Amino acid sequence: MTERKPKFETTSHIELKPFYDADDLSGFDAGNSLGPPGEFPFTRGIQPNMYRGRFWTMRQYAGFGSAAESNRRYKFLLSQGQMGLSVAFDLPTQIGLDSDHPLASGEVGKVGVAIDSLRDMETLFDGIPLDKVSTSMTINSTAAILLALYIGVAKKQGVPPEKLSGTVQNDILKEYIARGTYIYPPRHSLRVVANIFEYCAKHLPEWNTISISGYHIREAGSSAVQEVAFTLMNGITYVKAAVEAGLDVDLFAPRLSFFFNAHNNLLEEVAKFRAARRMWARLMRDRFGARKPKSWMLRFHSQTSGATLTAQQPEINVVRVALQALAAVLGGTQSLHTNSRDEALALPTEESALLALRTQQVIAQESGVADVVDPLGGSYFIESMTNEIERRAEEYVARIEKMGGMLQAIETGFVQREIQESAYQYQRAIESKDQTVVGVNAFVSDHEKPFSILRVDPALEEQQKKSLAAVRAERDTSKVDLALREIEAAARDPRKNLLPPILNAVEAYATVGEISDAMRREFGEYQEAIVI
């Protein structure tokens, strides 16, 4: 037998006892902290019957190369039983650069699909009826532009905005914390977020206006407790910004959604999801005075952890993904993306993407875990862990609020330092073998088989540039110039909502880069302070 280490703890350094019993729940008010599924505080799930009524949405994240290539992948996945689309954009699109910008060189279509104008968006969704498919778009700094492009495509299909369903990530704060694909200074970015809340409340009632993301915080190296605390603090900041902009909390709160990581420690992850739901319900009802039960619900998408996948023995990643997906389902997710086995090496092949989708389908159809609501609820260990994660996350929330809030915590580098320290400790544990990673620091194989990976054609970049040049040559330049001036004027006036002039601009075939530059001229660009 393999010898075990003497210390047992979770990724959040919560020490584990050999077993748990009723004494571990002494003082625990089950009536106030649990309640039935579908009722406040939603610890056991946001719907009374959860997956007995319908399965979670199986929404595989995809996008690479050109809009035409990504369109083919979407149609394939939909034909194989996927329930909704999730769009990955390339880095230039994420930071508001057109494909012919010098800084875009070498990055066009590499980590997602290249979108420069409404022409690309029309190709991306060609033959996909937007009134019948729910679409999630992982986009933040340019979220308002990509949402406008999506609305523009829908109008060309004859689909009114009120029939559109889906999500725009629109979570700019985590970009300053964990990813770095920001453009404007935080306070200007928060204004754009609030503008999207307001516009969608009036025109896109079925659209989720934000996906407040703990996923990227966890991928950067945070613990489970930090993921909950920092994500909910970002949520608090967005709600405050919207309320201060004059929006009624019950007008926009029901369309807020969250995005969490499903990591390796199965039982800690289940407890994490339950704790986050309970904390958010109390925050919305007791702190912000929301009256509608839907305003109290933490609805979340989840994705298995890319950071845990290994280039060594990549077939093992299938097992990791299955366990992580199981944690998300046992924790009550509303939709789920399962990573592909080859994502530590490259973008997923079609074969790998299909296997990842089949993983979800096996859990849904064969495992039996979807037949009972919150099947682990009432476990001494699960309830104790849920309580402990909530307690520790609340300590973080109180500490950040004492600093003056999340913006101040980000600007001073507190959040970033906490994540960096967590990531450092985890890496140290791997190097010392206190944390086992199969195939990396244990059970290493000297005879790994060659693995076929997807490669993006280098010729794509030149093709995309030619397509962009054709759009610029064919459009009415005077309409574009007028539309861009209107965006600048709206950016100067904090009372104006930026969505209407952005929509006018995309329909005139202004590009993502041109629209971003119009706002750059008024808002400036954020320069991150060096944090030591």
Give the model's pLDDT for residue 83: 84
Give the C-alpha separation, 315 to 498, whole Å.
Answer: 47
Q: 3-state DSSP: the chain helix, strand, coil percent, rounded to 5?
A: 55, 10, 40
Cα(329)–Cα(335) distance, integer angstroms: 9
In whole angstroms, give the CA distance from residue 515 to residue 97: 10
- The pTM for the full model equals 0.93
User: How many C-beta neighbours within 10 Å does residue 100 have?
Assistant: 20
Mean pLDDT of 42-54: 96
Q: What residues contact 505, with CB distance under 8 A and at least 6 apart?
A: 148, 480, 483, 484, 486, 487, 514, 515, 518
pLDDT reading at 161 higher than 50: yes
Q: Is the pLDDT of residue 28 over 90?
A: no
What angle do helix axes 512-523 and 477-492 make, rounded to 10 degrees?
Answer: 30
Instruction: Calculate the dihedral angle through the C-alpha atoms of 87, 103, 527, 145, rounding to the nearest 10 degrees.
Output: -40
Determine the straight-line distance between the first and last CA of the chain, rounded to whole angstroms: 45
* pLDDT for residue 532 is more than 70: no
Confidence of residue 29 (pLDDT cuts 50, 70, 90): confident
The edge-to-edge listing of strands for the beta sheet with 166-168 is 61-62, 84-88, 134-138, 166-168, 207-208
Q: Model confidence at 65, in pLDDT bands (50, 70, 90)? A: confident
Are 115 and 135 contacting, i.e. CB atoms less than 8 angstroms apart?
no
List, for residues 268-284, the tens digit of each pLDDT value: 999 999 999 999 999 99
User: Across all residues in the chain, what is the average pLDDT?
Assistant: 94
Question: What is residue 501's predicted lDDT score, i.e. its pLDDT?
Answer: 98
- The confidence band for 3, taking pLDDT boundaries of 50, 70 and 90, is low
Encoding tokens for residue 368?
């039996």
Q: What is the CA radius of gyration of the chain?
A: 23
Other beta carbons within 10 angstroms of residue 209's beta carbon come to 26
pLDDT more than 90, % of the chain: 88
- And the tokens for 484? 């861009």
Domain boundaries, the chain: 22-43+56-431
Dist CA 433 CA 422 (whole Å): 16
Paired tokens of 429: 């544990």
From 14-28, 103-117, 187-201, the region with the lowest mean pLDDT: 14-28
Helix residue ranges, H only, 89-223: 91-94, 118-124, 143-157, 173-174, 186-203, 215-219
pLDDT of amino acid 4: 61
Number of Cβ within a 10 Å radius of residue 7: 9
Q: Which amino acid is at 45?
A: G
d(CA 157, CA 316) in angstroms, rounded, equals 43
pLDDT digits (tens, 9 = 90+) for 479-502: 999 999 999 999 999 999 999 999
> What pLDDT digit, counting tens, does each position of 249-268 carry?
999 999 999 999 999 999 99
What distance in Å separates the CA atoms of residue 235 and residue 284, rounded to the nearest whole number? 10
Query: Is 22-43+56-431 a CATH 3.20.20.240 domain?
Result: yes
Task: Kindly tell me if the per-residue pLDDT of 447 is higher than 90.
Answer: no
Would you say residue 348 has pLDDT above 50? Answer: yes
In this prediction, residue 31 carries a pLDDT of: 65
User: pLDDT tens-digit profile of 504-529?
Assistant: 999 999 999 999 999 999 999 998 76
pLDDT at residue 325 is higher than 70: yes
DSSP state of 303: E
Q: What is the percent of the chain with per-residue pLDDT over 70, rounded to a whole number?
A: 98
Distances (CA, A) of 197 to 162, 170, 209, 245, 488: 14, 10, 6, 10, 20
Please check the confidence at residue 1 and state whether its pLDDT lies above 70.
Answer: no
